[in-house]
Structure 1
Amino acid sequence: MTTADDLCRDSLDGLSVGDALGAQFFVPGTSLAQLAVGRLPPPWPWTDDTEMACSVAVETRRTGGVDQDRLAASFGEHFEPYRGYGGGAVVLLRQMAVAAAEAGRARAERRRPEPAELLDTVLDHLVDSRVTAGIERARRLLGADAGEAAYELGNGARVLAQDTVPFTLWTAATFLHDYPAAILTCIRAGGDVDTTAAIVGGIVATFTGTGPGGIPGDWLAAREPLPDRST
């Protein structure tokens, strides 16, 4: 039986692997061809997205919820400037919670939700905003190719929620059963790759885990180890 702790661990692994792998593509000369033949040297360091997600994971395991003051204190305590912090990272990660929860519920029920079903669930929890309008546009683009989706929805290059969330949800909904395909879609789209791959990875791995279609073992082994506090 898959427990809540199992889902949390898989989501954190999926997020951190996506983050760490995506970050490698900011290094000049890195290519998908290197990844395909296993020549992307480990370890792959993770960024602020993973550091902050570790704090969220610890807090939710401890209390079953989130105490905002304690979480803020944890962010400050574990702040490491070289991790490449962006001002909106925590906002972007938080806005994926509904999608990850829906993916976990689907995994428990042993069924894959239709892409539109996943996006509809998220939309039901949002108020009118530019992000909501973007997700509605993403829903209309289901079935389009990834290049068109990235062009129409954005790829996170502007580091704004409305430029990041719609594309990540489109990718997670489209490739919920295939973690490698989901992460590679983020990499090919360019932009803020570590953040888009982190968000997508956290959602998709909640559904796939490390089994078939899940996080590849060699990717997980190449990721920089997570801090002890997250285990």
Structure 2
Amino acid sequence: MSTAHGDDAGSAAARRSLEGLALGDAFGERWFPLFRDPRQAYEEVRARRMPEEADWHWTDDTAMALGLVRVLDQYGEVRQRELALAFALGHDADPARGYGHGMHQLLPRLLQEPGRWPEFSRELFGGEGSLGNGAAMRVAPLGARFHADLARTVEQATRSAEVTHAHPEGVAGAVAVAVAAALSATGRLGLAEVVALTPDSATRDGLARAAGLPFATEPWKAADILGNGERIRADDTVPFAVWSAARHPDDLVAALWTTAEGFGDVDTTCAITGGIVAARTGVDAVPAQWLERREPLPGQAGRR
């Protein structure tokens, strides 16, 4: 970590968020083997019984969040060329983390020519750019870091998304999650303010529906209404994940179980929810067994 951007409140909040994101990612990823029997999987989640696997590995959600946090720690802001290279290096080091098709196309090109990220990002998906949930899944620590300035949160989240997600929906998803994490870090997470600061988009429309959805709604029903990430789009992923976080703003464990009940792209929805809630709570109240099973983050070999 750079001494110029040391142990301030923003850095501490970002680290809490990163821990929660990685935990949610690894927690959610454990459910995929059970999806072969959806009824059993749903019964296991409803009963709050974890799969028996000893090791919970995180995926590309965490790998890309780590790259983003490294750039923020070094420069105190998003520098897009440097971020493009950080993402590319992470992919090159371990491409089997579950990256999507678009990133497998984009990131090797960025490794060779990171300065051409605007061109390469726009070329994805027939020239429309990616509207996927990848920019949203990694961005919560950025929102936590800039929690004292929501305008800067929006601006920096936008810059972080553009490197890989040129489509406005991909950007909107990142802005929404970053704003939610910033609000969470200050103890005032609310869906209405997230909606207000999210750019006009299908993602914002979904968040507006989420704002009108009572927290008494069963999570599976909320996922049916809002989407659960099954389509891998920002607008199909972010509203439910943010709703789950707002439903349990002070309880990371409850928030993750709620999100898991929605199934779908469950590692990504849980990563988003975990990153938002943990910006406030951290992971200290999480069962010790969860932290023991979760793959440690770099530099934390002694704490799983």
The TM-score bracket by the shorter chain reads 0.7 to 0.9
> Contact 1:142 / 1:174 at 8 angstroms: preserved in 2?
no
> Contact 1:142 / 1:170 at 8 angstroms: preserved in 2?
no
Task: State how far apart, in whole Å, the 1-side matches of 2:206 and 2:50 are.
Answer: 36
Q: Residues 2-55 of structure 1, C-alpha deviation per residue, up to 9 Å, x if partnerless?
A: 83222111111100011011111112478537x956762322111000000011
Moved over 6 A (4+): none
Q: How is 1:186-225 mapped onto 2 (pairs within 5 angstroms)?
A: 186-211=259-284, 214-225=285-296
Question: Which of these residues, 91, 100, 105, is aligned with residue 181 of structure 2?
Answer: 100
1:125 is displaced (CA, Å) by 1.6
Point out the more displaced range, 24-33 or 87-96. 24-33
> Contact 2:71 / 2:83 at 8 angstroms: preserved in 1?
yes
> Contact 1:55 / 1:71 at 8 angstroms: preserved in 2?
yes
> Contact 2:210 / 2:239 at 8 angstroms: preserved in 1?
yes
> Contact 2:25 / 2:271 at 8 angstroms: preserved in 1?
yes
Question: Which of these residues, 68, 71, 78, is aligned with residue 59 of structure 1?
Answer: 71
TM-score of the aligned structures, taking structure 2 as reference length: 0.66
Task: State how far apart, in whole Å, the 1-side matches of 2:22 and 2:226 are.
Answer: 23
Aligned to 1:90: 134
Aligned-residue Cα RMSD (Å) equals 2.5
1:127 is displaced (CA, Å) by 2.0
Point out the more displaced range, 214-223 or 49-58. 214-223
Aligned to 1:136: 208
> Contact 2:24 / 2:256 at 8 angstroms: preserved in 1?
yes
Where 1:43 maps in the other structure, the secondary structure is coil
Aligned to 1:11: 17
Task: State how far apart, in whole Å, the 2-side matches of 1:51 and 1:141 are.
Answer: 32
> Contact 1:182 / 1:200 at 8 angstroms: preserved in 2?
yes
Task: State how far apart, in whole Å, the 2-side matches of 1:20 and 1:168 are.
Answer: 16
Q: 1:139 to 1:36 in 2, by over 3 A?
A: closer
Which structure has more RCO (C-alpha within 8 Å, separation ≥ 6)?
Answer: 1
Q: How many percent identity over aligned positions?
A: 40
1:161 is aligned to 2:234:
yes
Count of equivalent residues: 219
1:175 is aligned to 2:219:
no
1:227 is displaced (CA, Å) by 2.4
The one-letter amino acid of 1:120's match is: A
CA radius of gyration, larger in: 2
Aligned to 1:20: 26
